[in-house]
Structure 1
Amino acid sequence: MELAQVRLLVSDFAACYRFYGEVLGLKPQSGFADGPYERFSPSAGSAGIALQDRARTAELREELGVELGVEPVGHRSFVVLRVDELDRYCAEITGRGAVLVHGPAPMTERMRAAHLKDPEGNLVELQEWLLLGG
């Protein structure tokens, strides 16, 4: 078994496309900025993050018993990305418009992290793993 992707259902596809592609610097698979679907990869061979226009999933949501007409707001997903050199990466993405809500700061003795939100309010954690005993 292999994780193919984590898919986020979004209402503002264009804003999320820009955030994951231009702000976070993930590579889009097809370049279709107008949607309704796009997969982003942090690096070759890793699982990706996919955006799916929420309106295009109405039929499936109805079949699954999800209440239509009530759109969830943020904090339903938590995307975690591992990065090298957290301070440098945070400086890069804030220069491209990201707004950090926490960090970079130590989380544990083995990890530092920073947090921000995507345009839909989903939390994004950026992790830097630390080597111990050097």
Structure 2
Amino acid sequence: MTTRPPNLVDTVHVRLLVDNFAACFRFYNAVLPKLAGSTLAKGVEDGPYARWDINTATPQLALLDRGIMAAMLGQENAGTVGDPSLLCLRTADVDGAQRLCEEHGATVLSPARDRPEWAPDTRIAYLRDPGGNLLELQCSPD
């Protein structure tokens, strides 16, 4: 039995199951380094898997072709219902992050706006990446 690399133990990250792997790969490969400081650790645009890490030690986000996961689970014809997840990207500049995401194919659901009812100095935007996954861009004091 082999030992798992230390960077894959005791970590939590989101794995998005995507239908359009190449478009999602290009999107996250463009925005994650600028918005979250992560770098591509594994994978290529052709898929079916890719992962971005923080400081080459902590997995932050992974993509997996939805068909691969469905086949692994024996659910090839299950389809999808609703949002399988929400990815929250915290940033000091929600408006700039929204523009960056739009430049790389995101669709804005709710443009950047202040949310003082949630907390002082909180600004939020909601978007969908090219694969339809829900994103929250957030700036808040906590």
The answer to whether TM tops 0.5 is: yes
Cα distance in 1 between the residues matched to 2:44 and 2:32: 16
Q: CA deviation digits over 1:58-79, x for unaligned, max 9?
A: 44312xxxx4312115512111
Q: CA deviation digits over 1:71-103, x for unaligned, max 9?
A: 115512111111122222223333343332212
Question: Structure 1 vs Structure 2: percent identity of aligned residues?
Answer: 34
1:120 to 110, 131, 140: 131
Aligned length: 125
Distance 1:118 1:59, change over 3 A: same
Q: Which residue of 2 is the match for residue 56 of structure 1? A: 68
Cα distance in 2 between the residues matched to 1:28 and 1:2: 20
2:40 pairs with 1:28: yes
Structure 1 residue runs of 5 or longer lacking an equivalent are none
Q: CA deviation digits over 1:18-60, x for unaligned, max 9?
A: 12122x244322351111100124x425541100112222443
1:109 to 119, 134, 137: 119
Shift of 1:129: 1.4
Q: Which amino acid aligns with 2:119?
A: E
Q: Which residue of 2 is the match for residue 11 of structure 1? A: 19
Distance 1:46 1:114, change over 3 A: farther
RMSD: 2.4
Cα distance in 1 between the residues matched to 2:19 and 2:76: 13
Cα distance in 1 between the residues matched to 2:114 and 2:11: 28
